[in-house]
Amino acid sequence: MNFAHRPTLAARWLGRVDYEDGLVFQQRLREGTRSHLLLLEHPHVYTMGVRTDPSHLLVDPASVRATACWTDRGGDITYHGPGQLVGYPIIDVPVGPDSTPSYVHNLESSIIKLLGDYGIDAYTLAEYPGVWVGPTDAPRKIAAIGVKLSRGRSMHGFALNVHTDLGMFDHIIPCGIADKAVTSMEAEGVRASVAQVARAYASRFAEAFCFDDLDYQGVDAVDKVETVSGEQLHGDTSVASRLNQRLVKAGFAFDTAVAYVSRKPEWLRSEVHLGQEYRSLKHLVQDLNLVTVCEEAGCPNIYECWKDGTATFMINGERCTRACGFCLVDTSKPLPLDPTEPRHVAEAVSVLGLNFAVVTAVARDDLSDGGAQAFAETIRQIRELNRGCSIEVLIPDFKGDHGALETVLQARPDVLNHNLETVLRLHRAVRPSANYVRSLTVLARAKDFGLTTKSGLIVGMGESIAELKSVMRDIRSVGVDILTVGQYLRPTRHHLPVSRYYHPDEFRELRDYAMSLGFRYVEASPLARSSYHARQGSDAAAGALA
């Protein structure tokens, strides 16, 4: 099978990802044309392929703190869990009578070469898919393979045991093979982290499938950080210690950080307009007991937007259950929801005469639905009082609760926004309670539901231009229509340091690159924020999609 002269492979080491989120992510990527290799770990889960005999699951998964999931890949039952490298290639595969066996052979060969790099002799067995080690008369399976090829695109892939708990295989008949043992790299005498093996495998896969270029990105930059020294902090002891730990693990260069007291460039200074429009909206917000993210997050565009009579309303209170490293919103214990809030937001939209309303919220992980019902009710109330008004919602990830997300999707906002905020390497440092794949899955599900989708990035938190381009490609790969890119401004000494201030010319270059990827609208400028020029973005996307 000829795989010669392929363009870039986007390989991503994603860390721990829920199985269903990984599946949705794969399904969305398969609809595109780019080549991807997703490398990750799953929480404890038993997955059953299309040929699985249910009797091969020997226990109630809950009894061993696992879940079970039927899936559309080939093969029988297998186990995924911590310490195991799972690889999901989403690439074009030439269609032909031998497509599947040839593809599987290439996959097996790439794993065998990887294991050889670690000094492990491995081989295949003609009668069984997968990769094996040990004597051929008593083989031990070290990697399982189960794939799906459809319309010339691949899904699913392999599971390589690195330092897996092999006892979890005792609760199934692995791959339906009762008389063969299972092993791991660790059991074969090799000690390595899953992250290290993932990075090494990405190169082997790119070589096996003839990719000319490898775009590899991964969570964090080092495997483990015991302590953060004063030298690493470069004297900035004001940043919270946990945040420091995450930043060092992500490879943040403290010696290049902008001093908190440094003077901002001229292009980052916004004008103050305390005119009648600003004062009127301020009084209206106070009279209706509403909260705006404009005030709570210290948005630099508040005077411009309020002068134009527009605001982004923040529902579900003003206290967030998360502590993102860049955000100024209060993180003290949340108060009970105000049941009148959705109506008051609708009344404010009516008084202002808005034809485009933006609604966001703090994260409310303390609520059973994460605050999803309040989003849906606010959408309904705005439409009841303001016929013809378009609505954009900027939502949290609801901790991956698909039912909560479905509640918002069923209310059918005109634009669904969920921000990824930063690049993969920095994600754990910047958004410790979030997950890169979970966020992309939120956007993928919204797109599959038929909604216009939007996401945003903040720059100046330690990322590179190459990483920014990679995250833009990831966002676009799940079908997102609108993108915002703005400069990070450190709210206090206790928040993330600023790595640097981007020049307006760099924002123009980022916008041009994003537009070349197929986004319908891109707002990229030093003071751009999620809801800045939201109506223009919605109109542009609607026009492009019409």
Is 78 annotated to bind a ligand? Reply is: yes
Do 314 and 296 touch, CB atoms closer than 8 A? Answer: yes
Is 390 annotated to bind a ligand? Reply is: no
Helices marked H in 260-324 = 276-287, 293-296, 302-307
Is 348 annotated to bind a ligand? Reply is: no
Is 79 annotated to bind a ligand? Reply is: yes
Is 320 annotated to bind a ligand? Reply is: yes
Is 158 annotated to bind a ligand? Reply is: yes
Q: What is the DSSP letter of 319?
A: B
What is the secondary structure of 196-244 as a DSSP string?
HHHHHHHHHHHHHTTEEEEEEEES-SSS------HHHHTT-TTS-HHHH
Look at residue 121 and give its three-state secondary structure: coil
Is 69 annotated to bind a ligand? Reply is: no
Question: Environment class of residue 86 by beta-carbon count within 10 Å: exposed (0-12), middle (13-18) or buried (19+)?
Answer: buried
- The end-to-end CA distance of the chain, in Å, is 40
Is 145 annotated to bind a ligand? Reply is: yes
Is 531 annotated to bind a ligand? Reply is: yes
Do 177 and 144 touch, CB atoms closer than 8 A? Answer: no
Tokens describing residue 369: 């639905």
The residues carrying an active-site annotation are 175
Is 462 annotated to bind a ligand? Reply is: no
Is 109 annotated to bind a ligand? Reply is: no
Q: State the maximum Cα–Cα separation within the chain, in Å, rounded to a whole number.
A: 86
Nearest 10 degrees: Cα torsion 303, 308, 314, 320: -20
Q: What H or E segment, with its residue span, contains residue 375?
A: helix 372-385
Do 26 and 42 touch, CB atoms closer than 8 A? Answer: no
Is 202 annotated to bind a ligand? Reply is: no
Minimal CA–CA distance to 222: which of 193, 186, 191?
193
- What are the distances in angstroms from CA 215 to CA 74, 157, 306, 458? 28, 19, 42, 21
Is 80 annotated to bind a ligand? Reply is: yes
Is 294 annotated to bind a ligand? Reply is: yes
Is 327 annotated to bind a ligand? Reply is: yes
Would you give the distance in Å from CA 31 to the centre of its chain? 18
Which residues fall within 8 angstroms of residue 29, CB to CB, at 6 or more apart? 36, 38, 90, 477, 478
Is 76 annotated to bind a ligand? Reply is: yes
Cβ neighbours, 10 Å, residue 335: 10
Tokens describing residue 194: 């899953």
Do 213 and 7 touch, CB atoms closer than 8 A? Answer: yes
- Residue numbering of the annotated binding site for substrate: 73-80, 144-146, 157-159
Annotated binding site for [4Fe-4S] cluster: 294, 299, 305, 320, 324, 327, 531
**Which segments are annotated as binding site?**
73-80, 144-146, 157-159, 294, 299, 305, 320, 324, 327, 531
